[in-house]
Amino acid sequence: MGDRERNGYVLTDDTSRVDVDRVHRWLAEESYWATGRPHELVSRSIEGSMPYSVLHGDEQVAFARVVTDGATFAWICDVFVDQQHRGRGLGGWMVDSIVEDMAGRGILRLLLATKDAHEVYRRSGFAALAGPDRYMEIDQRPTRNAVLGLT
């Protein structure tokens, strides 16, 4: 994908530009789905994924990662925009760019999960899961109940 610029922001898939400490803080302290996630686990998840970062100057202000087989399927996850930069369309820009990047790689099936940002993702072409009864999971995350709104 390379770098893309918009309104003073840069979107990049350059893994060397990920601020792992900042991403860890966002996920472990500010997200509902990864509360308490250890730094080592965040670091390992980034290493095993395709990370995307939005930068404002040298500061990382948004993040997402893609888990993929590189051919048929991709899962977009850990989408996060820093509180001070929300409301500027950065999350949508990042997700739209990821969708475009995956399509360019021939990956036409994408999945993501959200508790409260359905409208953001609908604008990027996502819809409710067709045939949800086909999917099964093992979910042993300590944040499972919070993610599912069961707390």
Query: pLDDT of 24-39, one tens digit each?
Result: 999 999 998 899 999 9
Give the sign of the dihedral formed by CA 93, CA 98, CA 101, CA 106: negative
Q: How confident is the model at residue 136 (pLDDT cuts 50, 70, 90)?
A: confident
Q: What pLDDT score does 66 carry?
A: 98
What would the DSSP string read from start to end of 31-71? -SSSTT--HHHHHHHHHTSEEEEEEETTEEEEEEEEEE-SS
Half-sphere exposure in the Cβ direction for 146 (13 Å, CA): 10
CATH no., domain 4-147: 3.40.630.30
Considering the entire predicted model, what is its pTM? Answer: 0.90
Distance, in Å, from the CA atom of 78 to the CA atom of 34, rounded to the nearest integer, reads: 8
